[in-house]
A = this chain, B = another copy of it.
């Protein structure tokens, strides 16, 4: 008799994000998942701690950018050499899924792989664990299972998952994935009750994942075929990753796999969730009752609905409303929270000015 699905879980945390959206706090060498501004923990550490009770250390992986491997090891010293995998070049999530599935299968031939973003925020870890266990159960039958967050506002920055009916508890078939909607559509989604936020989590049997990849994205399998001839996590294996990975096509799991699959299910997640995508989203993570989100040596006077963060200089915010003020030793950003998206323009301009030292 097969072991229970929950015992076969291998969790792979996708921690390759470069995260310019949190400039000047996030930098090339310290992207969002490695930032410390919720107490002393990083989002990466919190992500791993969240799955720890249902996934022992030896069944966890982190796939990150090659230049972040050391930083990831610092945050997660419990992981062995084969458990932190560095991508020599960013290739989006589908090649990452392939590597994760190969490693998962090596750890456990019957592995059920959970792919998790490293940089999301979840209030209720217990609810997340229960949803993940449910998803593993459903995945065991061959489905690809996602987590869908119960929406709490008409968010236009998230992708949505359309389900067959008013989202019930448990596992529900997915009708389709919907890209970031307009506000009108987002309001309809919220009222209709059939749409969930796509949390970017995928749960699937490792062999099933590799099968799907081979079917929809055969180039990836070809590029990574050589990995099969080396011990997972060994020096030669890492050397092959280094050479082969950049040849993989850059494609996401959503576009490259999910769009072509029909047997997809979603598990409802009602746990307090954020993709921590912009400074504006940080405001939503302030402690209950707090007027502003503050971190570091900051002073707010007569200010509300602000994100005021310093990693160095003393920052005084006076008479501000709905504003982000973010200071580091070498750069400061001030932007209204409803223009958080414009941080990209700043990064472009900083680049154009030849100030790569600030990125």
A contact set with B: CB distance below 8 Å: 24, 299, 301-302, 310, 312-320, 323, 325, 327-336, 339, 342-343, 345-346, 349-350, 353, 355, 358
Contact = CB atoms under 8 A, between A and B. Distances in A.
Given A301-B349, A315-B334, A316-B346, 12 more contacts: A301-B342, A302-B342, A313-B313, A313-B330, A313-B332, A316-B333, A316-B334, A316-B335, A316-B350, A318-B345, A318-B346, A327-B327
A301 B336 CA distance: 12
Contact of A329 (B24, B313, B336): B313
A319 B332 contact: no
A218 to B, nearest CB: 44
Contacts of A346: 299, 301, 316, 318
A339 B327 CA distance: 21
A341 to B, nearest CB: 10
B332 A318 contact: no
Given A299-B349, A301-B349, A349-B299, A318 B339 contact: yes
Nearest to A318: B335
A151 B323 CA distance: 35
Nearest to A325: B334
The 6 closest A-B pairs by CB, nearest first: A318-B335, A319-B339, A314-B331, A316-B346, A315-B332, A316-B333
24 contacts: A299-B346, A299-B353, A301-B349, A313-B328, A313-B331, A313-B332, A314-B330, A314-B332, A314-B350, A315-B333, A315-B334, A316-B332, A316-B334, A316-B346, A316-B349, A316-B350, A317-B335, A318-B334, A318-B335, A318-B336, A318-B339, A318-B342, A320-B336, A334-B334
Contacts of A312: 330
B319 A342 contact: yes
A329 B332 contact: no
A331 B345 contact: no
Contacts of A353: 299
Contacts of A329: 313, 329
Nearest to A343: B318
A316 B317 CA distance: 15
Contacts of A332: 310, 313-316, 325, 327, 332
Most buried by B among A312, A318, A328, A330: A318
A118 to B, nearest CB: 26
B327 A313 contact: yes
A314 B345 contact: no
A350 to B, nearest CB: 7
B315 A323 contact: no
